[in-house]
């Protein structure tokens, strides 16, 4: 089995990190793909918001200031400038704001894929009534090969909008190859990094990304209510969203009802009053991630995923996730005969996982350990009738 956290400093790092998440006192938590576990500093952030509300009534200046701190913290995590980042309520609201600014007269095509999260399909399909020609790059089994995009991204394509890691099988796309393809055909590349952000480095400049969206509540360990959209600086002023509002204006507090003056920054994709409680929760979450370091987190998560895959292979279990390290992220999925019953059985044993597409989802983060992985494998041994074997 691959060793996890071989270096003593790293073991200490994981132990110290894990201690900040009380859920591990009682449970084996392996469901960060749905919601990150709650850390003490995140809880303290929410408490600080409540205190400020109690004490000052309406301290909007400091609340908006906290939002700017959050913007800067996220920007530094992805090697962007703060004015290239919009803080939105959800990935969906970010995408809708962007979609409302796209024009489909010259380049009508938007390419997404079979592996994208449903909201992405819904948002682009809704653009058909504004003239979009929406095409889905087709998966081949548990993979989404580059050829699927080569066949669909053409000279009339405005945007290639696809996921980094697939929520329903853990497949990871090669972002650099997608950027090269999109740019060669004159299209922009948008990556939905919701299922990877927080578990590996994400340098938007090095990857030559045009747009990146992600939310805070999964591997970024924040709360629902906050998401982010990065847009490369020189693109921003091309877009004038019709899905707009006062927080997207150059001067939010100008109260100028009669004029529309978009912010010169990515803030133009924001709309109404910010989700302040979520902002207070999410800033300490991002600081936890930055403190641990995305390189360190990635090494740990990859080692855990390899340990799980090797354990599953040794038992002859059928996996839904590609086994090659380059093609997977923090999510490993095991095929089941009855995934709902299996998730319930694991929960009774204190192991929290989830299910999609009839398979077991085990998602790994920096707070997980080799013992957590071994606990799942041992639990699968106890329920052989609920898992599918490669030979089945
Ligand atoms: C890859 C991916 N994209 C988008 C979403 C949805 O984001 P939101 O609810 O913030 O719109 C999810 C939620 O699970 C997701 O996993």
Whole-number pLDDT of residue 272: 97
Please name the CATH architecture into which domain 8-30+293-383 falls. Alpha-Beta Complex (3.90)
Which structure tokens are listed for 62?
Answer: 């400091």
| Local confidence band at 332 (pLDDT 50, 70, 90 cut-offs) | very high
Whole-number pLDDT of residue 391: 80
Residue 4 has pLDDT above 70, yes or no: no
H or E element in which residue 210 lies: none
Please name the CATH architecture into which domain 44-290 falls. 3-Layer(aba) Sandwich (3.40)
Q: Measured between alpha carbons, how far is 47 from 299 in angstroms, rounded to an integer?
A: 33
Q: Which of 89, 114, 117 to mutate to test the pocket of ligand 1 (most atoms within 8 A of CB)?
A: 117
Q: Measured between alpha carbons, how far is 67 from 45 in angstroms, rounded to an integer?
A: 13
| Local confidence band at 2 (pLDDT 50, 70, 90 cut-offs) | very low
> 350 with 27: CB under 8 angstroms?
yes
**What separation in Å is there between the alpha carbon of 216 and the centre of ligand 1?**
10
Q: Is the CB of 173 under 6 A from ligand 1?
A: no
Tens of pLDDT, residue by residue over 270-326, are: 999 999 999 999 999 999 999 999 999 999 999 999 999 999 999 999 999 999 999
**What separation in Å is there between the alpha carbon of 315 and the centre of ligand 1?**
33
Q: Is the CB of 34 under 6 A from ligand 1?
A: no
Task: Calculate mean pLDDT across residues 171-184.
Answer: 98
**What separation in Å is there between the alpha carbon of 57 and the centre of ligand 1?**
33
- Among 145, 139, 94, smallest CA distance to 120 is for 94
131-134-136 Cα angle (round to 5): 180
**What separation in Å is there between the alpha carbon of 385 and the centre of ligand 1?**
32
Q: Measured between alpha carbons, how far is 323 from 305 in angstroms, rounded to an integer?
A: 9
- % of the chain at pLDDT higher than 70: 97
Place of tokens 């090659």: 324
Least confident of 97-101, 202-206, 249-253, 265-269: 249-253
- Domain ranges across the chain: 8-30+293-383, 44-290
Q: Which of 195, 223, 329 to mutate to test the pocket of ligand 1 (most atoms within 8 A of CB)?
A: 195
| Nearest CA residue ID for atom 6, ligand 1 | 91
Atom of ligand 1 nearest to the CA of 90: 10
Tens of pLDDT, residue by residue over 237-280, are: 999 999 999 999 999 989 999 999 999 999 999 999 999 999 99
The mean of the pLDDT values for the chain is 96
| Local confidence band at 357 (pLDDT 50, 70, 90 cut-offs) | confident
Place of tokens 């590349």: 189
Which structure tokens are listed for 77?
Answer: 């995590």
Q: Measured between alpha carbons, how far is 23 from 21 in angstroms, rounded to an integer?
A: 6
Please name the residue ranges forming H helices in 127-174: 146-150
**Three-state DSSP class for residue 191:** strand
Q: Measured between alpha carbons, how far is 17 from 389 in angstroms, rounded to an integer?
A: 35
């Amino acid at each position: 089995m691959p060793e996890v956290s071989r270096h003593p400093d790293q073991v200490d790092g994981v132990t110290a990190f894990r201690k900040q998440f009380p859920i591990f006192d009682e449970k084996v938590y392996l469901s960060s793909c749905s919601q990150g576990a709650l850390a003490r500093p995140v809880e303290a952030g929410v408490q600080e918001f409540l205190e400020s509300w109690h004490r000052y009534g309406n301290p909007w200046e400091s609340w908006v200031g906290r939002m700017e701190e959050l913007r800067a913290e996220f920007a530094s995590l992805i090697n962007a400038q703060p004015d290239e980042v919009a803080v939105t309520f959800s990935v969906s609201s970010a995408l809708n704001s962007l979609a409302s600014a796209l024009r489909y007269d010259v380049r009508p095509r938007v390419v997404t894929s079979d592996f994208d999260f449903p909201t992405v399909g819904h948002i682009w399909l809704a653009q058909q009534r504004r003239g979009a020609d929406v095409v889905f790059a087709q998966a081949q089994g548990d993979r989404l090969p580059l050829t699927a995009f080569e066949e669909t991204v053409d000279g009339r394509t405005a945007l290639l909008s696809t996921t980094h890691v697939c929520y329903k099988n853990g497949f990871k796309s090669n972002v650099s190859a997608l950027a090269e393809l999109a740019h060669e055909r004159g299209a922009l590349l948008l990556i939905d990094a919701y299922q990877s952000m927080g578990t590996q480095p994400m340098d938007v400049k090095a990857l030559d990304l045009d747009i990146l969206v992600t939310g805070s509540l999964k591997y970024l360990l924040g709360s629902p209510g906050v998401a982010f959209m990065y847009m490369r600086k020189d693109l921003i002023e091309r877009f004038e969203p019709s899905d707009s509002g006062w927080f997207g204006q150059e001067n939010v507090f100008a109260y100028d009802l009669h004029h529309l003056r978009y912010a010169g920054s990515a803030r133009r994709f924001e709309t109404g009053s910010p989700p302040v409680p979520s902002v207070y929760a999410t800033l300490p979450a991002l600081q936890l991630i930055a403190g641990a370091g995305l390189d360190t987190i990635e090494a740990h998560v990859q080692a855990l995923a390899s340990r799980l895959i090797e354990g599953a292979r040794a038992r002859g279990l059928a996996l839904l996730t590609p086994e090659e390290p380059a093609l997977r992220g923090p999510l490993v999925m095991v095929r089941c005969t009855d995934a709902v019953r299996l998730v319930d059985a694991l929960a009774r044993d204190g192991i929290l996982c989830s299910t999609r597409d009839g398979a077991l989802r085990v998602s790994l983060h920096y707070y997980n350990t080799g013992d957590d992985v071994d606990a799942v494998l041992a639990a699968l041994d106890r329920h052989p009738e609920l898992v599918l074997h490669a030979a089945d």
